[in-house]
Structure 1
Amino acid sequence: MFNLSAISHGLPAAAMVPDLERALAGRGRVVVEAPPGSGKTTVVPPVAANALGRVIVTQPRRIAARAAAARLASLTGTKLGREIGYSVRGDSRTSASTRIEFVTAGLLLRRLLASPELEGVDVVIMDEVHERDLDADLTFAMLCEVAELRDDLALVAMSATIDAERWARLLGEDVPIVRTPAQPHPLEISYAPAPGPRLDQRGVSRPFLEHVAHTTAAELAKLDEGAALVFVPGAWEVDTVVARLRDLGVDALPLTGSLSPAAQDAALRPDPNLRRRAVVATSVAESSLTVPDVRLVIDSGLAREPRLDVERNIAGLVTVPVARASGDQRAGRAARTGPGAAVRLVAEHEWATFPEHARPEILTADLTSAALTLAVWGAPGGEGMALPDAPEPRALARAHETLAALGAIELVEDRVTVTERGRLLARIPTHPRLARALVDAAELVGATSAAQAVAAIESDARAPGADLAALVRQLRRGGTPATRRWQEDVRRLTALLPTREKARAEKAPTNQASPAPASDDSLALVVALAYPDRIARQRGAAGDYLLASGTGATLPADSALFGQEWLAIADLARTPRGTIIRTAVPVSVDTALLVAGPLAGERVHTVWRDDRVVGRRIRAIGAIELSSVAVAPNPAQARAAVIAMLKERGLGALTWSDEAAELRARLGLLHRELGEPWPDVSDAALLERLEEWLGPELDRIASGTSLNRIPLLDPVRRLLPWPEAAQLEALAPERIEVPSGSQIRLDYPAIDEPDAKPILAVKLQECFGWVETPRIIDDRVPVLLHLLSPARRPLAVTDDLASFWANAYAQVRAEMRGRYPKHPWPADPLTAPPKRGTKRSAH
């Protein structure tokens, strides 16, 4: 049994031990809400272990899992790896006697896929669930399903800042919430915005990082002792600020997830020889790590979040304003053990505009790995699972398309079926694209070469000048933490290859059909296998490339890859300037063709050009044209080109006769008033149904008939519904008979004038004796009368004829009888005979 009194001594979380023990003794599901620094990560696991048995604790990051395990082992007086241990990617310290194991959510997710029963595990504690990491969300939902089958598996969800009631509902009915009240020390928050922008075209600006360093040095000098914790968005910014602080005479250390364990431990361990120091960190230090002796927080106000450009299928990290909830957690680090101060490097009014909470990764990130996990789990798309948020629909659809292209799933009318290849790829803890490249490239270039390439692509180290081959050469030279991590990943990936693939890989280099490429060619092969849609060819200006996907991208100005005609691109970033190539390697066109799969091939491209259909047979890799020759398109291709032209130019490209336009207008009014079966004849509707009503004419245009020689009256007649067409003249007549006996043509409103009325332009004298305004379409629509003078100039416009005779006619008569004396202007128009001509004419 763990000594809870010793472990929890001095920690606010000690107060919740009795409530937690009661909750675990009940149904075994509980939500723990405790503020930062309360000791929940230290106290809750031994309480659960004493109550129920073996415990797994998930952490959002490897560094947090290692640090939490080391701290708890120290407090229990045991050797790390015995009763208290951890397992993260590439590193594990556990034994048969381990009772509490700290792991990353991603690692536990892999275990669940391999063995859903979690045999031998009694409690799973999911820490920091508020961070809404994608792996953590999936693991939470999967554990809820496992717990439904295993009544003896206890689940605990805990965090510093969560919607406790929401998580309790997800865990089940009547799940208790155990809270530890905050015991905050005084915290002074101030604002110190930089004089210039935080971001420029390339990302975080160097002048802003100078401001971060100078503000840190100035504020740290005010402390008698202690540490400053400085938050910046990424590893490059961490290194830049650390270097500048050292130039200013400040003892500074970096803290990022990509550092070696020794370097991370140095930042997390206070140095008794230093009165003051600065730890410059990414978001790893927000909530899941304790950096000791912190009295001051400097917050850049920036964070990195995953984003997916769904249209271009480009995923990556983007720099965004930090969420205010995360900013509050950052600031709270300064007041964990005593009074502290936090300086936000933004204006106070700007801080108020920042988002309240960070968006969950399941709504913003690339979902390809998640979609494969859910498919293997048996719940494609997360249907029916206790996910805190459903996957973003467009990103999920894009993920399924990618997995289908990799052969990992079969996708039939949105029904997802995982394949054996998909199960194989899911067992390799990397992105499915890279897993595919590892498996397939191993057969061509050997397991070690394939693993080296994949490990380099995954490496957190930056490719100098976007040159991946240069990065690999750096990693091979050795001597850096990045090299050690890369070597560990190479061994891990090689070991993960199935035995069959390893055996094939050993033979592959001697295969005459597929000789082993040179080192850089091996790298290019792996990148192109992982991202065939990112095979790119130079176009236009140097450094400007067209990807097989159709996206354009440019090399950074300092790249050594300028002048390379073909690239295989491993990483892209969206910036205000456009898409930037972050990591790439030169590739031969032969290798590109070898791995491009369905993207490579020939197609006949037909377009409308110079008033005719022209065709070319194009050999291409996706959007990249390799060669092109003129060909005669077949009828279907030619028709498709005509349809595409009309959809681009609109129906105005055709010549509408008065008769065709009038019939279309009559049908338009009928549709607006009566609906179906009278057809919608708007431009959008007709363009959507081109082949239905304009079929024969499309073929005539495709075969060379000029657009202005295509009559449209018959095509419009094809739109008439039967048998309702027999009522056309009765409902929407072409002409209306007026009292004089004349048949006057109605002018129907244009399609783009839905509120206009049909117009009857008629001489006033022909309307004598006409009391009621004419109406059409079963008396639904009044006709708008344009009453004309003998010279056919408008005298009045009315849709209320009776009112006109009673009111306006007298004025019109007074003005017109002297101007047109030969025409009748009776005092009583209702009893006067209608006239087509003069007073003396017969009619």
Structure 2
Amino acid sequence: MNPDSLSAAGALPIDELEAEFARRIERERVLILCAPPGSGKTTRVPLWLLRSPAVRGSILVLEPRRLAARACAAQLARALGEPLGQRVGFAVRYTRVGGASTRVWVITEGILPRRMLEDPLLDGVGAVVLDEFHERSIHTDLAAAFLRETLEARPELRLVVMSATIEPEAVARFFGGAGLLRGGSAPYPLEIEYLPQPDARPLPERAEAGVRRLWPAAGDAQGDALVFLPGARDIHRCARRLQERPLPGHPEIAVLYGAMPADEQDRVLRGGAGRRVVLATNLAETSLTVPGVRAVVDSGYEKRLRHDPRSGLDRLSVGKISRASAEQRAGRAARLGPGRALRLWTAAEHAGLPSAEIPEMCRLDLSAVLLAVLEFHPGDPARFPFLDPPSPPWREAALDLLRRLEAVEKRTFALTPLGRRLARLPVHPRLGRMMHQAARWGCLDLAALAAAIIEEGEVLTDPPRRAAETDSDLGERLERVVRFEDLGADRQAAEALGLDPVAARRALRARDQLRRRWDGAKSRGQTGRLDTRALSRLLLAAYPDRVCRRRAPGSGSALRVGGQGIELGEESGVRQGELFLALEAEAPEAGPHAVARVRSAQRLSPDDLEMVFPAHLSTQELVRFDDAREAVIGVQQHTYLDLVLWEREGRPTDPERVAEVLAEAAAAAFERVFCPSAEAQQLRARLELARRWLPDADWPDASIEGLRRRLPELCRGLQRFQEVRRIDWRKALHSKIPARLRARLERELPERLALPSGKSARLDYRPALEPGGLPVLAVRLQEVFGWAAAPRLAGGKLAVLLHLLAPNGRPAQVTTDLASFWNEGYREVRKELRARYPRHAWPEDPRAAGATAGPKKSH
């Protein structure tokens, strides 16, 4: 079929925009096309570009997934009446169909940024189509950012951004202006239903009930039903329920998800002879057309990956979709005729959903993205123009990893020669670093197969919930895949080894391509017998930040680099050895006691660390306080990065550090070690009162905090709390009183007061350390006869609390107001005590009487 006759074959709603599109693409460098789901954007636009005289060269169409890319290319080729691989081809990871005559290349998103690293101007490319842009995948956002710079250098290049639910204004601003084309009405009427009230049953049960609710209507229209569920487990559970209680007409129950073999996916997309219920993940949400669908049941959930920059781990969780995704899913029901969509949530819940998904650039690991950015646009990546710039923690975590992998210079943003090579590999920088190490050690095939299995995913048909004991979870899979290859790589060999044949073949194909991409070799050597020591060291090169040390022998609980706790799951068989590598681990849920969980591990030895990263190892002399012994000890500590590998006790050799550590411990436990004498407390109280009542002078700080601050100097030469308890605090305080203030302290806040009796009495200042406390003068009542008023200190500003003692030494009166006592209280005290102590003086007027120091002498 000639592109000129496209509109004649199976008209689609988008066809109404064909003429306008042709005019706009002549003058608009960037065109944003917004049209409803199912209107035909993916099917028509690449072929409109093929016929446009404004487009000279090939046309690249970016699709979000491999399945979508293959299906889109096949559909375009059918529209042209040609076999796939002539004017229309496709390229996904490890697979390429097309040749010199191919003008329309449908590719997965990750391919374009890597191509632009080698060919920034996209020589020979006339147009690029970013399909399903609303998904905001990390690769599409990166491609958009690269294209923005390329468009400035190539004004003849055309870019079309397509989506049903995009916010076009922000995209237009990002590209410095863009044309907007809306239209292509919905193909057919669509009726959307909600639940009347929330349903708390498990998702598979809710989905089954939804299918049974819509199936009679779908049966009347002779259409199929498409059910959206978050993952394969929910899909298979729902499928079993529908098979145990068949629907009217006994439709086929089909499933569709990313990990299925490609031929099985293609079979579902081709349709069936009878009616079907297709249970799918969000793989079927956009781009793909599942034929025959007239009813959609939407669970409202999807699996979503999120990176934790603090731990460097990812977490795959099930979460609610956005309103934009719900619109995309519902639109699947009205592509072939009037449709119905049942949303398994209430209308009120729908209003509370986010309007769109969080861009992957703001929630995924950015190390591969930043590596590409630093190659394409050298300089500080914080200044690189992203549509939605990632937050600093994500960016800094990625840079830190790239520096640990030796891909980026430590103090700049410049790529190392290794970093430039890693940027061009179709694998994560970690795995590229492993390939680099393998090339030096002569085990490139082993590294390539390990990288392929890690990148492609699980190869076992039924991974055990509790794995058998092993030194390497990945090694178990490697050995089976190698054996599978030796046995001919057929289905029978896969069944005997418990392997998914499609996944195993895909891993072998990926290994060969990685091998070729690394050194250009046309053929490979045999992977051979597994060398677990080599595998340990290769994986360590890729995951230097994932080294863990068990808390106890045989324990699944461990501490990893970075200081976080981690727990080995039962899926891992690595149960022996003090050190292991957390190869596949999931970031913890939020919570104070949450820890990361390891699904796949690799046993390590100290020799592995010494061999691969000797610069990360260090031994240092530490000084530490031992709480049990209440003493400072010396520790020799051997670490890998910040992970302690072993410690040995010894004598501390740095006296300054000993004093510092002892002082820190004593300050934290000051109540236990502060044992001042009564004289020290006296002086401390006098100094604190001086600071309060005589603030014009620079008195030493004798507060508890001030004493804590003195600990570093006072702990010099000491090593134990027992010695700290013996510190002479009076001497320590007195030494800090300037010579010029010592006389003033004695004058204003004396240790003793002269009494009318001719004697002197000691003042007790210690009560003044308590809130509201005053200095106390305890003196026999007869010794203060002659005083008209109580003495005052600190220039008359500070009262003294008098304890006026009876002859038996007990207080007869406690007062700060002696004058009032003489006037009001003395008479009653005299009356009571005169009879009991007749040998003592009890004058009627104590002010005028002479003071006495003891009883009257008998004659």
Is 1:471 matched with 2:477?
Answer: yes
Question: In the alignment, what sits opposite 2:231?
Answer: 234
**Stretch moving more, 101-110 or 34-43:** 34-43
- How many angstroms does 1:90 deviate by? 1.0
Question: In the alignment, what sits opposite 2:698?
Answer: none
Task: Give the 3 Å change call, closer, same or farther, for CA 178–838 of structure 1 in structure 2.
Answer: farther
**Stretch moving more, 601-610 or 135-144:** 601-610
| Native 8 Å contact 2:46 2:61 kept in 1 | yes
Distance 1:590 1:157 in 2: 53
Task: Give the 3 Å change call, closer, same or farther, for CA 821–185 of structure 1 in structure 2.
Answer: farther
**Stretch moving more, 46-55 or 595-604:** 595-604
| Native 8 Å contact 1:606 1:615 kept in 2 | yes
Structure 1 residues 179-235: Cα deviation after superposition (integer angstroms, max 9, x where no partner): 12643622232339897565xxxxxxxxx4355456546644653132222222234
State the one-letter code of the partner of 1:453: A
Aligned-partner SS, 2:110: helix
Question: In the alignment, what sits opposite 2:274?
Answer: 274
Distance 2:663 2:224 in 1: 66
1:326-345 matches, cutoff 5 A:
326-345=325-344
Question: In the alignment, what sits opposite 1:642?
Answer: 661
**Stretch moving more, 544-553 or 30-39:** 544-553
Distance 2:581 2:690 in 1: 58
1:285-324 matches, cutoff 5 A:
285-324=284-323
Structure 1 residues 567-619: Cα deviation after superposition (integer angstroms, max 9, x where no partner): 43321124557422222344555445533544445344432113222233244
For normalisation by structure 1, the TM-score amounts to 0.75
Task: Give the 3 Å change call, closer, same or farther, for CA 762–686 of structure 1 in structure 2.
Answer: closer
| Native 8 Å contact 1:286 1:326 kept in 2 | yes
Question: In the alignment, what sits opposite 1:67?
Answer: 71
Distance 2:195 2:477 in 1: 40
- How many angstroms does 1:482 deviate by? 0.7
Distance 1:541 1:195 in 2: 47
- How many angstroms does 1:404 deviate by? 0.9
Aligned-partner SS, 1:485: helix
Question: In the alignment, what sits opposite 2:630?
Answer: 611
Question: In the alignment, what sits opposite 1:457?
Answer: 454
Question: In the alignment, what sits opposite 1:47?
Answer: 48
Is 1:209 matched with 2:204?
Answer: yes
Across the aligned residues of Structure 1 and Structure 2, the Cα RMSD in angstroms comes to 5.2
State the one-letter code of the partner of 1:421: L
State the one-letter code of the partner of 2:180: I
- How many angstroms does 1:300 deviate by? 2.8
Is 1:571 matched with 2:584?
Answer: yes
Aligned-partner SS, 2:263: helix
Is 1:11 matched with 2:12?
Answer: yes
| Native 8 Å contact 1:23 1:29 kept in 2 | no
1:532-571 matches, cutoff 5 A:
532-540=544-552, 544-549=556-561, 550-557=563-570, 559-562=572-575, 567-571=580-584
Task: Give the 3 Å change call, closer, same or farther, for CA 192–108 of structure 1 in structure 2.
Answer: farther
Question: In the alignment, what sits opposite 1:420?
Answer: 417
Question: In the alignment, what sits opposite 1:494?
Answer: 515
Distance 2:136 2:707 in 1: 47
State the one-letter code of the partner of 2:601: A
| Native 8 Å contact 1:442 1:448 kept in 2 | no
Structure 1 residues 730-777: Cα deviation after superposition (integer angstroms, max 9, x where no partner): xxxx99xxxxxxx99999999xxxxxxx989799x9999xxxxx9xxx
| Native 8 Å contact 1:326 1:357 kept in 2 | yes
Is 1:524 matched with 2:545?
Answer: no
| Native 8 Å contact 1:532 1:548 kept in 2 | no
Task: Give the 3 Å change call, closer, same or farther, for CA 428–238 of structure 1 in structure 2.
Answer: farther
Structure 1 residues 354-408: Cα deviation after superposition (integer angstroms, max 9, x where no partner): 4443222222211111221122223455333331221221121111111111110
**Stretch moving more, 622-631 or 138-147:** 622-631
Distance 1:395 1:292 in 2: 41
Distance 2:764 2:717 in 1: 36
Is 1:444 matched with 2:457?
Answer: no
State the one-letter code of the partner of 1:611: E
Distance 2:768 2:36 in 1: 71
Distance 2:421 2:349 in 1: 48
Question: In the alignment, what sits opposite 2:842?
Answer: none
State the one-letter code of the partner of 2:596: T
Is 1:175 matched with 2:178?
Answer: yes
Aligned-partner SS, 2:326: helix
* Percent identical residues: 28
Query: Looking at CA atoms only, which structure, 1 or 2, has the larger radius of gyration?
Result: 2
Distance 2:686 2:94 in 1: 76
Task: Give the 3 Å change call, closer, same or farther, for CA 115–242 of structure 1 in structure 2.
Answer: farther
- How many angstroms does 1:434 deviate by? 1.0
| Native 8 Å contact 2:634 2:653 kept in 1 | no
Distance 2:141 2:397 in 1: 20
**Stretch moving more, 244-253 or 454-463:** 244-253
Structure 1 gaps, min length 5: 199-207, 510-515, 670-678, 721-725, 728-733, 736-742, 751-757, 769-773, 775-782, 797-812, 824-836
Is 1:265 matched with 2:269?
Answer: no
Structure 1 residues 623-670: Cα deviation after superposition (integer angstroms, max 9, x where no partner): 76554422223328945971895599487777498788998999999x
Task: Give the 3 Å change call, closer, same or farther, for CA 696–94 of structure 1 in structure 2.
Answer: farther
Question: In the alignment, what sits opposite 2:369?
Answer: 370
Is 1:164 matched with 2:181?
Answer: no
1:706-721 matches, cutoff 5 A:
706-708=723-725
Aligned partner of 1:125 among 123, 129, 142: 129
Question: In the alignment, what sits opposite 1:223?
Answer: 218
Distance 2:100 2:768 in 1: 88
State the one-letter code of the partner of 1:426: A
Distance 1:708 1:311 in 2: 43
State the one-letter code of the partner of 2:506: R
| Native 8 Å contact 2:572 2:599 kept in 1 | no
Distance 1:624 1:279 in 2: 50
Task: Give the 3 Å change call, closer, same or farther, for CA 565–633 of structure 1 in structure 2.
Answer: closer
| Native 8 Å contact 1:307 1:365 kept in 2 | yes
- How many angstroms does 1:286 deviate by? 1.7
Is 1:481 matched with 2:502?
Answer: yes
The count of residues paired between Structure 1 and Structure 2 equals 754
Distance 2:111 2:607 in 1: 38
For normalisation by structure 2, the TM-score amounts to 0.74
Task: Give the 3 Å change call, closer, same or farther, for CA 428–652 of structure 1 in structure 2.
Answer: farther
Distance 2:115 2:567 in 1: 40
Question: In the alignment, what sits opposite 1:406?
Answer: 405
State the one-letter code of the partner of 2:22: E
- How many angstroms does 1:28 deviate by? 0.8
| Native 8 Å contact 1:214 1:245 kept in 2 | no
Distance 1:330 1:451 in 2: 38
Task: Give the 3 Å change call, closer, same or farther, for CA 664–485 of structure 1 in structure 2.
Answer: farther
Structure 1 residues 315-357: Cα deviation after superposition (integer angstroms, max 9, x where no partner): 2422222233323322332233333333344566555554443
Aligned-partner SS, 1:122: strand
State the one-letter code of the partner of 2:652: P
Distance 1:399 1:667 in 2: 55
State the one-letter code of the partner of 1:175: A
Structure 1 residues 142-196: Cα deviation after superposition (integer angstroms, max 9, x where no partner): 1111112222222222212122111110010x42221126436222323398975
| Native 8 Å contact 1:193 1:345 kept in 2 | no
Structure 1 residues 46-86: Cα deviation after superposition (integer angstroms, max 9, x where no partner): 33341323321212222222222221221222332222222
Structure 1 residues 490-532: Cα deviation after superposition (integer angstroms, max 9, x where no partner): 1111111136xx79x98x99xxxxxx97344444343332223
Task: Give the 3 Å change call, closer, same or farther, for CA 111–644 of structure 1 in structure 2.
Answer: farther
